Amino acid sequence: MTDNLLEIKNLKKYFPIKKGLLLREVGQVKAVDDISFSIRRGETLGLVGESGCGKSTLGRAIIRLYEPTAGEIQFNGADFLRAKGSNLRKIRKDIQMIFQDPYASLDPRMTVGQVLTQPFEIHGLLNSQQRLDRVKDLLQIVGLKASHVNRYPHEFSGGQRQRISIARAIALEPKLIIADEPVSALDVSIQAQILNLLKDLQQKLKLTYLFISHDLSVIEHLCDRVAVMYLGKIVELAPREQLFSNPEHPYTQALLAAIPRVAEGKKQIKKSLAGEVPSPINPPPGCTFHPRCAKKMDVCGLKIPDLKNHSAMTHDHRTACWLYQPHEKES
């Protein structure tokens, strides 16, 4: 068995744009555009980028909430996109998702007990007494009380609701959890508690995480490796220390420069990234970052750079940028 729990190859998710009375397809939004990467067992891979870069779509395509347009998803050695019957059910049980908004992701008409019993009902696991016992265990594992079982979501704070979502995600003892901005809707004071809970659960339950966030300080706190996404593509992928100490891609460098840091007792002024993310309906040719890149060259607007390793010293650090790849100089 390989070290990789998840292997994604050339994954695409395009959404059709339809117009007119006959709803003819007039274009496509390339939200995820030919992405390949893997996640190792037990690691936390961070996926970071500005809003609209496609990171949430990628998370949803991996779990098949959005059916991928093309590509391959190998999970634990099995072909997820072609799996059927009991194999498909097993993979679905092993990959769970935590969403950003714990208000929207919990049905307000269901008690916490009903919410947490649902995964066992769907998969036909345990009898009713065993389900109740397991639900009470789950509540305690995530830092709530067994006596909360008959309460409704509105009776909890935002942080407690996210704990309930986490309890639902771990109910079936999954191998991989895709956490999509799990703390960005919460007060800053609560964020650290939820991040620490996720870290504890990872150790206790041997979980692997894909952690999606726009917030690089959260990514730095939690992740082993980091993938930076821009306009449907991964532009840099590296171990956390390398990405934060030696970012190669100009987009990653700009994102890091925009993190407010406390230096010599004074808060640095937050520098913003120039310009807006272009529309994924009509992305710029070549490197899609070129309209915003201070280091762009002639080749950048003509050819798409591959995501590649550029140094024998750092085999695990890959970047899609012509600054590091041989190319013909344009006249």
CA 247 to chain centre: 20
| Cβ within 8 Å of residue 234, ≥6 positions away | 35, 37, 227, 228, 307, 320
Cβ at position 247, least distance to ligand SF4 in Å: 11
Indicate whether 303 belongs to the interface with ligand SF4 (CB under 6 A): no
| Cβ within 8 Å of residue 313, ≥6 positions away | none
SS (H, E, C) 200-212: HHHHHHCCEEEEE
Q: Which of 223, 228, 238, 287 binds ligand SF4 (CB under 6 A)?
A: 287
Please, which residue, 93 or 327, has the CB nearer to ligand SF4?
327
Cβ at position 177, least distance to ligand SF4 in Å: 32
Cβ at position 307, least distance to ligand SF4 in Å: 11
Please, which residue, 2 or 246, has the CB nearer to ligand SF4?
246
Indicate whether 174 belongs to the interface with ligand SF4 (CB under 6 A): no
Indicate whether 307 belongs to the interface with ligand SF4 (CB under 6 A): no
Binding piece for ligand SF4, criterion CB under 6 A, among 77-85, 198-206, 307-315, 320-328:
320-328
Please, which residue, 167 or 216, has the CB nearer to ligand SF4?
216
Q: Map the footprint of ligand SF4 across residues 234-273, applying CB under 6 A.
A: 249-250
CA 168 to chain centre: 18
Tell me the two tokens of residue 129. Answer: 């007494």
Indicate whether 310 belongs to the interface with ligand SF4 (CB under 6 A): no
Strands (E), the chain: 4-19, 24-40, 44-48, 70-75, 78-79, 95-98, 176-180, 208-213, 225-230, 233-239, 262-263, 266-267, 308-309, 318-319
Site map for ligand SF4, 190-229, x if CB under 6 A? ----------------------------------------
Cβ at position 305, least distance to ligand SF4 in Å: 5
Tell me the two tokens of residue 75. Answer: 């999970």
Binding piece for ligand SF4, criterion CB under 6 A, among 72-80, 150-158, 178-186, 288-296:
288-296
Cβ at position 10, least distance to ligand SF4 in Å: 20
Indicate whether 295 belongs to the interface with ligand SF4 (CB under 6 A): yes
Triad 7, 12, 15: Cα angle to 5° = 145
Taking a C-beta distance cutoff of 8 angstroms, is the pair 112, 153 a contact?
A: yes
Cβ at position 30, least distance to ligand SF4 in Å: 17
Report the C-alpha gap between 307 and 311 in whole angstroms.
13
Taking a C-beta distance cutoff of 8 angstroms, is the pair 213, 219 a contact?
A: yes
Please, which residue, 211 or 322, has the CB nearer to ligand SF4?
322
Report the C-alpha gap between 295 and 209 in whole angstroms.
34
Residues that bind ligand SF4 (CB under 6 A): 249-250, 287, 289-290, 293, 295-297, 300, 305, 321-323
